[in-house]
Structure 1
């Protein structure tokens, strides 16, 4: 025979368990909803992400963190290296974005500022996210001169032995600064990049070779 008081206690216990479960699941659902709203706000730009590391564009090759080389000491310039005259900065523009016409547009902008092009625009053998300059030790001052025309740009030391500079235009490219925003002056020494390291202490990267014509995509130029 069932004892009525026992049945009532069992019913009350089950009811409390259901209430606890409802509260737990309710909190979890509310938390997930808040996370979803927060993520959507960051994605749309309504909020700034608290994470300083940039998001990686799917399909873009990872760009490892590489130190920028410091400017070299120059005889007769005790205050630091001076900018290289633009027409003496030899540049090759490579499209590392996959977007057609980008390299040609950058080349046109640099020619208008009297930079010297040493080759036609071409496709880079990699796709990168952030636009960067690649250059050897002889081209450090030239690279700093060109870098001053951009609000942000990566500086990568490679193994070349001449003073040419490669400009690799990435998927998140930004146009060069307006000419009146470039703060270079012929008699004003260049400033080292933040956290730069002496070139002799940096392991230079391999020199990138543009894609051969037969495999180059229509995005070249």
Structure 2
């Protein structure tokens, strides 16, 4: 009895299957070798894994610290309030609303004796919390003005003079009644909590408000 003749089609298919299996096993072996070498390299510190890199998230810029009161010549116990008539103030509405906040505050401060030299709309960014802005020569004047309000921030800018600006913000609080203003002509003022000496603060650029024609 003779053996059946080999089927050429079947032989070709078997040969292709063997070749495909060889390729698949070869790829798996190469991948395992590469993975093993990478693991050894990371273990020995040859290179770092991308998953070990720290993830950095943007941090909001911290607000400028508020300045402490300066030492004043002739006032060894601390800086005294400045007489209201010696405090030149500009009052600006820095809120989005149309309510005439600047004029109302200018009138209130004028009635108390402050020298209000200008009022109007703030032409820069709108702000939330009301601010008193001033230069290094106007710190005691800024503290004197800020004492009239329950919640304002003291912001140091790079102006040269001693005029101070009151920016009435979105979170507006009206002036305290005069009997609640904690100032006395012969009692030194107190530093705001967490203050920093003015010479350790980088002043922000002064914003100059131009008068509108009309």
| Shorter-chain TM-score above 0.5 | yes
Question: 8 Å contact 1:89–1:164 — kept in the other structure?
Answer: yes
CA distance in 1 between counterparts of 2:110 and 2:138 reads 19
- Taking only aligned residues, the RMSD between alpha carbons, in angstroms, comes to 1.9
**2:66 matched to which residue of 1?**
68
User: Is 1:83 the counterpart of 2:53 in the alignment?
Assistant: no
**CA offsets per residue over residues 65-122 of structure 1, 9 Å max, x none?**
1111111101211110000000101100011002221111111111111100122333
**2:36 matched to which residue of 1?**
none
Structure 2 gap segments, 5+ residues each: 1-59
Question: 8 Å contact 1:94–1:103 — kept in the other structure?
Answer: yes
Aligned residue pairs total 154
The structural deviation recorded for 1:63 is 9.1
SS in 2 for 1:146: helix
Q: CA 1:87/1:63 → structure 2, altered by over 3 Å: closer, same or farther?
A: farther
User: Is 1:171 the counterpart of 2:170 in the alignment?
Assistant: yes
**CA offsets per residue over residues 166-211 of structure 1, 9 Å max, x none?**
0000011010101110110100001001111111110001111226
* TM-score of the two chains, using structure 1 as the length reference: 0.66
CA distance in 1 between counterparts of 2:97 and 2:144 reads 26
Q: Indicate the structure (1 or 2) with the bigger Cα radius of gyration.
A: 2
**1:52 matched to which residue of 2?**
none
The structural deviation recorded for 1:212 is 5.6
SS in 2 for 1:93: strand
**Equivalent residues in 2 for 1:38-117, closer than 5 Å:** 65-100=63-98, 101-117=100-116
* TM-score of the two chains, using structure 2 as the length reference: 0.68
CA distance in 1 between counterparts of 2:126 and 2:110 reads 24
CA distance in 2 between counterparts of 1:87 and 1:184 reads 15
Q: CA 1:121/1:64 → structure 2, altered by over 3 Å: closer, same or farther?
A: farther
CA distance in 2 between counterparts of 1:211 and 1:96 reads 14
CA distance in 2 between counterparts of 1:211 and 1:161 reads 17
**2:188 matched to which residue of 1?**
189
CA distance in 1 between counterparts of 2:61 and 2:104 reads 23
CA distance in 1 between counterparts of 2:63 and 2:97 reads 24
User: Is 1:152 the counterpart of 2:155 in the alignment?
Assistant: no
